[in-house]
Every structure is written in C-alpha cells, then in structure tokens.
Amino acid sequence: MRLKIIQVGDPVLRQTARALTPEEILSDETQRLVRDMQETMYDAPGVGLAAPQVGVSLQLAVIEDREDLLKTLTPQELQEKERRPVPFHVLINPKIVQMGNDSVDFYEGCLSLAGFSAVVPRAPAVRVEYFDGRGELRRIEATGWYARILQHEIDHLGGGLYIDRMHTRTFTSLDNWNRFWKAKPIAKA
C-alpha cells in the first residue's frame, strides 16, 4: 500500500524516532510497514525513505538505489558522485559508528521537501551498524553516494533534515536547479 509522504513542517519530522525492540522488528506490523515503505519509495521515486517521512516515529528506513534511476546520469556524474546501484535493504536502529572529518558537497533533495534541492556537505565514507528486517545485526562500510544516502536517512531518524546541513545560498526549487545549476560544477553554486 502506498503511504502518504509527510512534508516539512509536520512535527513528526523533527522528533527523535523510537528504537524498535527485537520483538517489534519481527512483528507482522513492522514487516507490513517495510513493504509499504518500499512501495512508497519506488512510486515517489526515491532512493531512501525513513519511517518518520510516512508519519511513523520509529528507527526504521529503507534504501535502494536502482539501476533505472542511474540511467539519467552521465558517466561523468556517476563517477564524480561515486554512484552505483545499491540493492534494497532495511535499516533498523541504525547508528553511524565511524565517519571521517572531511566532506564532499553535492546537491541533495528529499521526498519530504518536495520540489527543492540544496548543496549539502556529507562525509564521503561511513561505517553503520544496524539491524536488518530479520533482526540480525549488520555492518556496512559505504562510500560515495551510498554513504550520502545512509547519512540522509539516519538524519531523519534523529529529527534532522538536509536543510539543517545545507549551504543556505544554494537552496533552490527543482525547476530552477534544472534551469540554472544542473549542468554547472558544484563550485559554481
């Protein structure tokens, strides 16, 4: 079932989401929420969706950067962003356990800020610990765009949005991004 994506201004997006217990992870309700979030993310389309974005204040996110979404990018963009397909997976109670001090700037958007984008500095590599949809502890070491997606979704679970981290002068509507900034290097923004 496709869920409604909550937009900026709704208090649920600014709350720290509650961790799930092992029993809750395996519950039919949580498994149904995961399926519904996956369908909603595909339909949007997006590469990640956190439970607070559908009005549920739980430490749960789904991620998938599908091959078909990469077809709109040039080989140069794919290389610059270190963007590769990422298979579907569920993150429950995720924690960033390691992140470097350096950062990389790219335009970023969010399904909960429909129609807008801004340049956001993010760590180019992270290590994340989380529970998967079966309640098993997992670790990810991610780089490039995948690291950015993880940081973005984990921010949601702590009540954060990309606008909290953005370079404010770069905030733009998607129409104007396509018109003025899409083909320009980030340094020009």
Catalytic site positions:
153
**Residue labelled with tokens 């559908």:** 54
Centre a 10 Å sphere on the Cβ of residue 106 and count the other Cβ atoms it contains: 18
First-to-last CA distance in the chain?
A: 39
Helix then strand count (H, E) for the chain reads: 6, 8
Q: How far apart are CA 74 and CA 101, in angstroms?
A: 29
Q: How far apart are CA 141 and CA 7, in angstroms?
A: 30
